[in-house]
Structure 1
Amino acid sequence: MSVVILRFPGTNCDLDMGYAYEKLGAKVEYVWHTQDFLPKDTDLVVVAGGFSYGDYLRSGAIAKVAKIMEAVREFANRGGRVLGICNGFQILTESRLLEGVLHRNESLKFIAKNVELEVVSTQNPFLSPYKQGEHITLPIAHADGNYFIDADGVKKLQDRDQILLRYTQNINGSVDAIAGICNEGKNVFGLMPHPERAIEKALGGVDGLAMLGALL
């Protein structure tokens, strides 16, 4: 399997993600934001976490107009699988590949800690190794992780089985305690927690390993 990891100025979880997928046996390639195409053998695009362009305008708002994102949109529209984590989730919502927005945490503070999550749906390629209702633990590290969508949008997400993860304790104020969603086609997944930081017991747990390995 060939995994492409995007790099923007300020991306800082790319090597962590690359390490995780190499550990799982995947071929990993890093693609800079100024490139306007994806490698032909791409199976999965990962928009890694960090602070693209320093989040100076709005998290993900500048990255969405990078040259590489047009290629990512075309890839996703053809059914290609895209995974966005933390800042990557923000970029996917800004790019309208996922619905809703991420804004300031309710506490107005940066939060970095392990959190418990409920697996809401497994009817998708990203969370198929888990059981519906299972609780897993992953770390978060964000200031703008408060997911918002209006009431009609929440209902659509629920009706279409697009809510994949919820916080068991709503740590950042996200509507419906949403921690991760997918698109209607189930091929684009965004989440605020970091599965790539939960792949070894020495790091505190391995609950993220099955999530990253699901697509292999």
Structure 2
Amino acid sequence: MKFGVVIFPGSNCDRDMLDALQYDLNQEVVPLWHKSEDISAFSTEDCIVLPGGFSYGDYLRCGAIARFSPVMKQVIEFANNGGKVYGVCNGFQILCESGLLPGALLRNERQQYICKNLFIKPDGFYKEQLKDDPERFQEVYKIPIAHGEGRFYANPQTLEELKANGQILFRYCDASGNETPESNPNGAIDNIAGISNAGRNVFGMMPHPERACSAVLGNEDGKKILTSLLMARQLVS
């Protein structure tokens, strides 16, 4: 399996993602510049990653300009053909702006940038399939966040569809797995921290698992998430 990590002007987590995939997960990784108009080297068995940062300075809205980068036309086509696409933080925002994922990421409830470790738990179809992988399944994962516009919102109809289809991947919780207002860092609707598309091949989340992939950093929970979410073929049905 091969990974392509897209680098936009303003991306600042691309190196973190490249290193986590290459050195912590031992995968083949290729940097992709935002002006690239050819990603034909990647098959639908591979994965394109949109990393965190401040693409195009977050002008207009987070991800609003990056959505029109030349490479995104190829990424959208790649996803529509069944290839895996994964967005973290700003990458999640870009996926929502591009229509590859439903909903939107709004300003944090308290209008403040947040950077800290917190807890999330798996949900939906991802949780059900993780139960068959006891080496990676945990009720709660400790993962860092760093965002100012991470409050996930979807209208009531879309929210019900996400629930019915099992598309909610992660919810914010406390260390014991309880979903509480205090464990929700940004006011996201239903404590949602990550979702997928209906086809289960496009994933977005606000927390940064690539920053929790090394024993040297004292946390490898992110490594378990990246491995089970991006490299488990049974997630695509």
TM-score (norm 1): 0.94
Matched, 1:58 2:61: yes
Superposed, which structure 2 residues align to 1:177-216 within 5 Å? 177-214=191-228, 215-216=230-231
Which amino acid in 2 is paired with 1:210? K
Question: 1:122-143 CA deviation, whole Å, 9 max, x = no partner?
Answer: 5489967444x71111000000
Runs of 4+ aligned structure 1 residues displaced above 6 Å come to none
Any conservation in 1 of the 2:120–2:171 contact (CA below 8 Å)?
yes
Q: Mean alpha-carbon deviation: is it higher for 27-36 or for 183-192?
A: 27-36
Q: Which amino acid aligns with 2:102?
A: E
Is the counterpart of residue 11 in structure 1 residue 25 in structure 2?
no
1:75 aligns with 2:89: no
**Per-residue deviation at 1:156?**
0.5
Q: Find the counterpart in structure 2 of residue 84 from structure 1.
A: 87
What RMSD, in angstroms, separates the aligned Cα atoms of the two structures?
1.8
Write the deviation string for residues 71-120 of structure 1: whole angstroms up to 9, x where unpaired.
Answer: 00110001000000000000000000000000100010000000111111
| Offset, 1:59 | 0.1
Normalized against structure 2, the TM-score is what?
0.86
Q: Which runs of 5+ in 2 are unaligned?
A: 174-182, 232-237
Of Structure 1 and Structure 2, which has the larger fraction of its residues in helix? Answer: 2
CA contact (8 A) 2:14 2:51 kept: yes
Aligned pair in 2 of structure 1 residues 127, 16: CA closer, same or farther (>3 Å)? farther
Structure 1 gap segments, 5+ residues each: none
Structure 2 counterpart of 1:49, from 44, 48, 52 = 52
Q: Match for residue 98 of structure 1?
A: 101
What is the rounded CA distance, in whole Å, between the counterparts of 2:195 and 2:223 in structure 1? 18
Q: Is the 8 A contact 2:170 2:194 kept in 1?
A: yes
Shift of 1:202: 2.6
Structure-2 separation of matches of 1:38 and 1:205? 33
Q: Equivalent residue for 1:146? A: 151
Q: Which amino acid aligns with 1:159?
A: A
Q: Distance in 2 between matches of 1:27 and 1:125?
A: 28
8 A Cα contact 1:127 1:211, kept in partner: no
1:18-40 residue CA offsets vs partner (Å, 9 max, x unmatched) = 10111211111111111112142
